[in-house]
A and B are shown apart, each in its own frame.
Chain A
Amino acid sequence: MSGHEFQSWFPDSGHIDYDDASTNITETTLDEMRSIAARYPQARSALLPMLHLVQSVDGRVSPAGVQACADILGITTAQVSGVATFYTMYRRRPGGRNHVGVCTTALCAVMGGDQLLDRVSHRLGIHEGETTADGAISLERLECNAACDFAPVMMVNWEFFDNMDPAKVDELLDALSSGQSVQSPRGATITSWQEAERVLAGFPDGRADEGPAAGEASLLGLKVAREHGWHAPDVPPPVPASGEAAATEGSAVPGGAK
């Protein structure tokens, strides 16, 4: 079933998972959190990246992480909780090594996203929001991820997987399940979700130079322009530096063919 299920009973909302007190946060983590706070004129600005860092360490927003954020920023745990529960990228419970997302906002849904979500769900034997028993993959439904010219779109650990179809889904899931190296068509070799979170916290992983500059769709207009020899107008010749002359600039040189 790929449509949104309408949920109206929220037995477990409003907070992170208090029961799981486990944490991997160390003094190094706290130092890194302080270094994030130091990037900003006002420390509280660091809260979002700090929570990304908590996720990179604990695989979720942990109670220890909430407490650490509150302590370092001098705000209440309730205030941290208010932020941690507002944004969809923050998880309250651990997920898999890989987070597979399928966009089902209107355009992707119509173009096959719904079917892809079904397919992923069937193949993995889990519903959205769940994780496979082997801990390899969590499945999420995504809202628009700003890659509509590559629809239908999927994401793995926030790397683009463009122009997806059932065959590509199968291939991707097989690779992820078996731990093979997977390359995003417009990104880097897939790291784990937690490693991705660390980059979002502002700690680069050295993979910026991997992958192409652009996907095919991004280059389409450029390609067509080049085929036709189209380009932006040439720069008009310098004009006398007086206000009056500047005012007439608007009429200058339209662009010609190369």
Chain B
Amino acid sequence: MTVTAKPGEVVASDLITVFVDGTEVSVPKGTLAIRAAELIGVAIPRFCDHPLLDPVGACRQCLVEVPDMGNGRGMPKPQASCTLECAPGMKIQTQNTSAVAAKAQKGMIEFLLINHPLDCPICDKGGECPLQNQAMSNGGGESRYEGVKRTFPKPVSISAQILLDRERCILCARCTRFSEQISGDPFITLVERGALQQVGYYEDEPYNSYFSGNVIQICPVGALTSVSYRFQSRPFDLVSTPTTCEHCAGGCQLRTDHRHFQVKRRLAGDAPEVNEEWNCDKGRFAFRSARGDDRLTRPLVRDNGVLRVASWPEAIDAAVAGLKRAGTQVGVLTGGRLTIEDAYGYSKFARAVLGTNNIDFRSRPHSAEEAAFLANRVAGRSLDNDTLSYTALQGAKQVILVAFEPEEEAAMVFLRLRKAVRKNGLKVLTIAPYASNGSAKLNAEVIPTVPGTEPEALAGLSADADTIVLVGERAAVIPGALSAAADFVDRTGARLAWMPRRAGDRGAVEAGCLPNLLPGARPAGAVLARVDVQAAWGVDGLPTLPGLDADAQLAAAREGLGLVVAGLEPSDFTNAAEVRDALESAPFVISLEQRLSEVTERADVVFPIALIEERPGHFLNWEHRRGRVNTVIRQPNQPMTDLRVLAALAEALGRPLGIRTARQALTELDELGVWDGARQPLARTRGVAAPADGELALATWRELIDGSRGNDHEPALQATAKPVVARTSPEVAAAHGLTGAVTIAGNGGWLTLPLEVVPGMAADTVWVPTHAPDTPLSELGLVHGDSVTVSSPAAALDRGEGFDRGEGGVA
């Protein structure tokens, strides 16, 4: 259960005392009777009640008797305890002590069952169904109903992922309230009325919400099921493991259910301080990506130009030979999927084993200004629930979003902001090119901003200590943006959080997977910091040469730099073609991967790596909160973790890593502690000039459900993705004669997409999604803020290489 008030926050004078079944209990003012009963262990049956949804009082299952409202007078009728606020001295009698309440509840269960199909044996929910459970504990043994049951065609696909069985539905309206209140996507509503009332949707506008899976989880019957899990298992055959989601830096706590060495489903865990009881559909459904034939289970080595399966010793020998040849002429690219333990392993491997500072986790557009910002403002921070956390977001008066789209890039941050907007009147300002759907749902004030001019837009705002500034991943490529954010909070007293997008990013900063950072926020360029780490690691020395960032490593790969590469895709970078070329040109590439990829295709040695459900560890979320990753599936031939492979390589190189397990890695990192010396200063860069005449600034960000390989093998999830479109203002569309579709050209390539005209959008700007399926912008080598030209598709026919998605995307 999510409690609404923390005990520490309640002063005694705010407490009132009530009596539940004769037991005295003190509760904060405003507590509902059903919660007061929970506090003393009295479970009142309920269906529509949900602590995170507004009370509705619809199912009437939780009726209690109130012989005394606290003023000596009783209530003439039984009361729904889910809508009844406690009053001082109130006496509440539940089914345990009141025959009236017990009879009322029994009657209600009977009503709920008369039209229910009672198909528990074939229902996904059977075995974990509140209706089933409460019918067993509070219902009658036999039905008195001799009438005819209400029947509907079934199931109804309310989205590609979610199916509705109207016969099982008991109309508690949890799903419709969730969609309206929590996520703000009221594409499902109650329709019809009376006995015919049902959950409905509109055919042209299916329930495509990033949060749709939650309605399955909160459905108290089996009315809502997913294509993904339907008929996959019985709840009692599943083994549940709590864990942390690997898809973004939100740090959602999950419950992962598996059977037969396979994850069957993932549910939102109960984490009041993080994701409350929700998660996003990517976190819920995208866990099958490694189920295909491309899963790596055995090492590969390149033999006469062809990759072949090899034994582990053979692969390790090949890797060691390559690394020895490379010496310190090697770079390490770790990507964003690593646990903090694995990231620490790579950091130590690079410095202590390979002897280089060439390490970077940023498999995406990045900058030196960003590296300095991360060293100056992010690394070494610790969790402070009161100032920078989900809780703090909920309590803030104002939140300013800079180059950050919460609904797309950090779904739980979005939900928490929306909650704060609804419940606490939070004001959200967003420095963005246009009012996105997510901004609209936050009732955000949009400051329409041409990409590249975000620093100026931010400088024009006012803020105080009750303001939190959230700066997103793409700020890295806006010259001056991160420094401007730092300066802004220094000037105003506001708080600042960097919002990385991937689950491993925050931990990678802490582990030192940056050329300028050693573990624990230590500047790689600081002698004392190096001495510190050197001593802890018991090595003779650490590299003193400044390291290369990811782009520089890839450039150097063409000049002879060897590469050790963990989970990344060329298309994640600024220019995919250049990454492919670098991988092909590099003298030697070692890939540690879960699946065959564009990297493994070009690697000399490939090591298969354990999936997230096969390893322990931790992710550090944006709050700097550690989320435990538990081994969900254990089997005899457990795949190796990154850490184990690195340890084996180090061993074979004669410079042991000293750590093999996640626990050892974390202990070592913790013992190292956080650097208390001076941080690297910010590296301020000047903003860019406005686009030249006739050119537009490109705005872009990644959408939650996009062309990411992590969504593979989950077609129902992919089908709920947003339509791929480009967006411009009506003025831009008119000026360039754009109707229906637009061709965007830049950097020698072009892309045609359906056009959506957005009134009020920033001038001279065109928005496209960063990583739409089949058309990642990296194939054109374009990033946020780049100058592009637009034209109607017809005019672009002779442009040569490009992508035409103008047809069939959306009308």
Is chain B in direct contact with chain A in the complex (CB below 8 A)?
Answer: yes
* A 58-87 binary contact with B (CB < 8 Å = 1; else 0): 000001001100000001111111100110
* B 186-217 binary contact with A (CB < 8 Å = 1; else 0): 11111111001010111111000000000000
Q: Is the CB of A82 within 8 A of B149?
A: no
**14 A-B pairs, CB-CB below 8 angstroms?**
A8-B148, A8-B151, A13-B192, A13-B196, A13-B198, A15-B202, A15-B203, A18-B203, A76-B187, A77-B202, A79-B189, A81-B200, A82-B189, A86-B191
Distance (whole angstroms) from the CB of B171 to the closest CB of chain A: 13
Complex contacts, A79 vs chain B, CB 8 Å: 186, 189
Q: Is the CB of B193 within 8 A of A85?
A: yes
Tell me whether B166 is interfacial, beta carbon within 8 Å: yes
Given contacts A77-B205, A82-B190, A85-B200, 9 further A-B contacts (CB under 8 A): A6-B148, A10-B150, A10-B151, A14-B152, A15-B202, A15-B203, A76-B189, A82-B189, A85-B193
Tell me whether B153 is interfacial, beta carbon within 8 Å: yes
Q: Is the CB of A14 within 8 A of B186?
A: no
Q: Is the CB of A85 within 8 A of B204?
A: no
Distance (whole angstroms) from the CB of A227 to the closest CB of chain B: 45
Distance (whole angstroms) from the CB of A23 to the closest CB of chain B: 14
Q: How many A-B residue pairs have CB under 8 A?
A: 70
Are A85 and B186 CB-contacts (below 8 A) given A8-B149, A11-B153? no
Distance (whole angstroms) from the CB of A4 to the closest CB of chain B: 13
Distance (whole angstroms) from the CB of B759 to the closest CB of chain A: 13
Distance (whole angstroms) from the CB of B12 to the closest CB of chain A: 42
Q: Is the CB of A9 within 8 A of B204?
A: no
Looking across the interface, which residue of chain A has its beta carbon closest to that of B197?
A86
Residues of B whose CB lies within 8 Å of any CB of A are 148-153, 156, 166, 186-193, 196, 198, 200-205
Are A76 and B192 CB-contacts (below 8 A) given A8-B149, A10-B150, A14-B166? no
Q: Is the CB of B202 within 8 A of A78?
A: yes
- Across the interface, B189 reaches (CB within 8 A) one of A6, A66, A81, namely A81
* A 1-44 binary contact with B (CB < 8 Å = 1; else 0): 00000101111011100100000000000000000000000000
* A 158-195 binary contact with B (CB < 8 Å = 1; else 0): 00000000000000000000000000000000000000
Residues of A whose CB lies within 8 Å of any CB of B are 6, 8-11, 13-15, 18, 63, 66-67, 75-82, 85-86
10 shortest A-B CB distances, which residue pairs?
A77-B202, A82-B189, A8-B148, A78-B202, A14-B200, A85-B191, A78-B189, A82-B191, A77-B205, A86-B193
Looking across the interface, which residue of chain A has its beta carbon closest to that of B189?
A82
Distance (whole angstroms) from the CB of A7 to the closest CB of chain B: 9
Q: Report whether over half of chain A's contact residues are helix, strand or loop; otherwise say mixed.
A: loop
Complex contacts, B151 vs chain A, CB 8 Å: 8-10
Q: How far is the CA of A6 from the CA of B196 in the complex (A)?
A: 13
Complex contacts, B148 vs chain A, CB 8 Å: 6, 8
Complex contacts, B196 vs chain A, CB 8 Å: 10, 13
Distance (whole angstroms) from the CB of B164 to the closest CB of chain A: 9
Q: How far is the CA of A15 from the CA of B149 in the complex (A)?
A: 21
Q: How far is the CA of A200 from the CA of B220 in the complex (A)?
A: 41
Q: Is the CB of A63 within 8 A of B189?
A: no
Q: How far is the CA of A88 from the CA of B193 in the complex (A)?
A: 10
- Across the interface, B188 reaches (CB within 8 A) one of A13, A75, A78, namely A78
Complex contacts, B149 vs chain A, CB 8 Å: 8
Distance (whole angstroms) from the CB of B454 to the closest CB of chain A: 28
Interface centre among A15, A18, A78 (most CB of B within 10 A): A78
Q: How far is the CA of A75 from the CA of B179 in the complex (A)?
A: 13
- Across the interface, B200 reaches (CB within 8 A) one of A6, A18, A66, A78, namely A78
Complex contacts, A86 vs chain B, CB 8 Å: 191-193
Complex contacts, B198 vs chain A, CB 8 Å: 13-14
Distance (whole angstroms) from the CB of B547 to the closest CB of chain A: 51
Q: How far is the CA of A80 from the CA of B192 in the complex (A)?
A: 11
- Across the interface, B202 reaches (CB within 8 A) one of A9, A11, A13, A76, namely A76
Q: Is the CB of A76 within 8 A of B191?
A: no
Q: How far is the CA of A227 from the CA of B149 in the complex (A)?
A: 58
Interface centre among B166, B186, B192, B196 (most CB of A within 10 A): B192
Complex contacts, B200 vs chain A, CB 8 Å: 14-15, 78, 81-82, 85
Are A81 and B191 CB-contacts (below 8 A) given A6-B148, A14-B198? yes
Q: How far is the CA of A249 from the CA of B202 in the complex (A)?
A: 62
Q: How far is the CA of A155 from the CA of B188 in the complex (A)?
A: 35
Looking across the interface, which residue of chain B has its beta carbon closest to that of A12?
B153
Q: Is the CB of A78 within 8 A of B205?
A: yes
Complex contacts, B166 vs chain A, CB 8 Å: 14
Looking across the interface, which residue of chain A has its beta carbon closest to that of B200?
A14
Distance (whole angstroms) from the CB of A45 to the closest CB of chain B: 17
Q: Is the CB of B152 within 8 A of A13?
A: yes
Complex contacts, A67 vs chain B, CB 8 Å: 204
Looking across the interface, which residue of chain A has its beta carbon closest to that of B156?
A14
Q: Is the CB of B204 within 8 A of A77?
A: yes
Q: Is the CB of A85 within 8 A of B205?
A: no
Looking across the interface, which residue of chain B has its beta carbon closest to that of A16?
B202
Looking across the interface, which residue of chain B has its beta carbon closest to that of A86?
B193
Distance (whole angstroms) from the CB of B462 to the closest CB of chain A: 29
Complex contacts, B156 vs chain A, CB 8 Å: 14
Looking across the interface, which residue of chain A has its beta carbon closest to that of B164?
A14
Distance (whole angstroms) from the CB of A129 to the closest CB of chain B: 14
Q: How far is the CA of A13 from the CA of B191 in the complex (A)?
A: 9
Q: How far is the CA of A77 from the CA of B149 in the complex (A)?
A: 30
Looking across the interface, which residue of chain B has its beta carbon closest to that of A19?
B203
Q: Is the CB of B150 within 8 A of A15?
A: no
Distance (whole angstroms) from the CB of B510 to the closest CB of chain A: 43
Q: Is the CB of A81 within 8 A of B202?
A: yes
Q: How far is the CA of A75 from the CA of B185 in the complex (A)?
A: 10
- Across the interface, B192 reaches (CB within 8 A) one of A18, A66, A78, A85, namely A85
Q: Is the CB of B191 within 8 A of A15?
A: yes
Q: How far is the CA of A82 from the CA of B190 in the complex (A)?
A: 6
